[in-house]
C-alpha cells in the first residue's frame, strides 16, 4: 500500500517524502510545482496537478486507485496567547490562517462522512534543513530572510523591538524541519491505532526564542554580526507564540530532537 504526499515537492513535504522512503514506505507525490521542485523528489513517482484545479478529482481518483493509496499527508498550503494549547479558540488574523482552520473543518467533516482517520498537525515556525538540496529556497520566514539579507550585504531586519518580552522582540517556537517531518511519520503511525482521542495536535519544541536570539545564533554561525535594522511592528504579530506539545508527545512518543543551533547551522550550510 502507498502513502500520497500532497505538496511533497515543497520544502517540508520533501523531507517527509525522504523519511518515508527511508523506512521502506511506498510513496507517491502530488504537487503543482508552483513553489515545489521536482528535483527534490527525484526517483519518486510525481503527479503534477493543482488539487484545487479543474480535473483534479479525476486525476487524484485514478492515482489513488492505481497506486493503492492508503494514507494521505496533505501539506499544500495564530492565536494571541504566549503558550498555545490545542484548546485555545482559533482566531485567525489573516486569510492564510483562515484557510488552515477551514482545512481542519473539512478534514473533520470528511472523516465523519466517509469514516476516514484524520489528524491535523498545527506546527509552528519551521526552519533548517535535513539535507542541503532540500533547503528552503523562499525567504519568507525569519531564518532564511536573515541569511538572504546577509548574503546581499544588507542588515537583518527586526519588526518591532518594544514588545513585552525579555528583549523587546517577538518570541517564537522554532522547530527543525527534519523533526517536523519525523512528526508526520509518527502521526501516520498514530492513525493506525484504534484508540485515538484528539484530531488536532500541536507540533513544536515547547521552547521559545526571540528574534534577537535568532540573530545572535546566526551571527555565531556565520561570523557576520551586522547590526539589525529596527522597523515598526507588523500588524497581527503577537508578542509570543510557543507550542504546548504535551498531547502530541503523549499520543505518539515524539519529541523534537534539535534546537535553534542545529536549525541555524543547517540552514547556513545549505547556503554555503
Domain holding 54: CATH number? 3.40.50.720
Strand partners, 159: 231
> d(Cα 185, Cα 265) in Å, to the nearest integer?
24
> In whole numbers, what is the pLDDT of the chain averaged over residues?
92
Q: Does 123 participate in catalysis according to the annotation?
A: no
Shared domain for 100 and 37, answered yes or no, is no
For residue 243, pLDDT over 70 is answered with yes
Residue 126 counted as domain residue: yes
CA 30, 35, 38: angle at the middle one, nearest 5?
55
> d(Cα 142, Cα 5) in Å, to the nearest integer?
26
* Burial zone of 272 (CB within 10 Å; 0-12 exposed, 13-18 middle, 19+ buried): exposed
In tens, the pLDDT along 70-93 reads 999 998 765 555 678 888 888 776
Among 77, 111, 144, where does a domain finish? 77
pLDDT of residue 82: 62
What is the distance of C-alpha 121 from the center of its chain?
9
Model-wide pTM > 0.85: yes
Residue 210 counted as domain residue: yes
pLDDT of residue 96: 75
In tens, the pLDDT along 123-156 reads 999 999 999 999 998 888 999 999 999 999 999 9
Shared domain for 44 and 121, answered yes or no, is no
Shared domain for 116 and 231, answered yes or no, is yes
Locate 123 and state its grid cell: 506546527
Give φ, ψ of 116 to 5 degrees.
-95, 165
pLDDT of residue 93: 66
Q: Which domain holds residue 201?
A: 92-272
**In contact, 230 and 272? CB cutoff 8 Å:** no
In tens, the pLDDT along 10-39 reads 999 999 999 999 999 999 999 999 889 999
Share of the chain above pLDDT 70, in %: 97
> d(Cα 202, Cα 124) in Å, to the nearest integer?
8
Residue 270 counted as domain residue: yes
Number of domain units in the chain: 2
Mean predicted confidence (pLDDT) in 155-165: 95
For residue 159, pLDDT over 70 is answered with yes
In tens, the pLDDT along 184-218 reads 999 999 999 998 888 999 999 999 999 999 999 99
Shared domain for 125 and 10, answered yes or no, is no
Shared domain for 44 and 111, answered yes or no, is no
Shared domain for 223 and 266, answered yes or no, is yes
Catalytic residue among 11, 96, 123, 163: 96
Shared domain for 97 and 71, answered yes or no, is no
Amino acid at each position: 500500500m502507498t502513502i500520497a504526499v500532497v505538496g511533497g515537492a515543497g520544502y517540508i513535504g520533501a523531507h517527509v517524502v525522504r523519511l518515508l522512503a527511508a523506512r521502506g514506505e511506498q510513496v507517491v507525490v502530488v504537487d503543482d510545482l508552483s513553489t515545489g521542485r521536482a528535483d527534490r523528489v527525484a526517483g519518486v513517482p510525481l503527479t503534477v496537478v493543482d488539487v484545487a484545479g479543474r480535473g483534479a478529482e479525476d486525476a487524484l481518483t485514478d492515482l489513488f486507485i492505481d497506486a493503492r493509496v492508503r494514507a494521505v499527508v496533505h501539506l499544500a498550503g495564530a492565536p494571541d496567547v504566549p503558550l498555545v494549547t490545542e484548546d485555545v479558540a482559533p482566531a485567525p488574523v489573516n486569510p492564510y490562517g483562515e484557510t488552515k482552520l477551514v482545512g481542519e473543518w473539512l478534514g473533520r467533516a470528511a472523516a465523519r462522512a466517509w469514516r476516514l482517520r484524520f489528524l491535523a498537525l498545527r506546527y509552528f515556525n519551521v526552519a533548517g534543513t535535513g539535507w542541503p538540496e532540500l533547503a528552503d529556497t523562499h525567504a519568507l520566514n525569519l531564518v532564511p530572510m536573515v541569511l538572504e539579507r546577509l548574503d546581499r550585504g544588507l542588515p537583518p531586519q527586526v519588526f518591532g523591538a518594544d514588545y513585552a518580552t525579555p528583549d523587546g522582540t517577538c518570541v517564537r517556537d522554532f522547530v527543525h524541519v527534519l523533526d517536523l517531518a519525523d512528526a508526520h511519520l509518527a502521526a501516520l503511525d498514530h492513525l493506525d491505532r484504534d484508540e485515538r482521542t484528539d484530531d488536532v495536535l500541536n507540533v513544536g519544541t515547547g521552547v521559545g526564542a526571540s528574534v534577537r536570539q535568532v540573530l545572535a545564533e546566526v551571527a555565531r554561525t556565520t561570523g557576520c554580526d551586522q547590526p539589525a535594522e529596527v522597523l515598526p511592528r507588523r500588524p497581527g504579530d503577537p508578542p509570543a507564540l510557543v507550542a504546548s506539545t504535551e498531547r502530541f508527545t503523549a499520543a505518539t512518543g515524539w519529541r523534537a530532537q534539535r534546537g535553534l543551533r542545529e536549525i541555524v547551522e543547517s540552514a547556513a550550510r545549505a547556503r554555503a
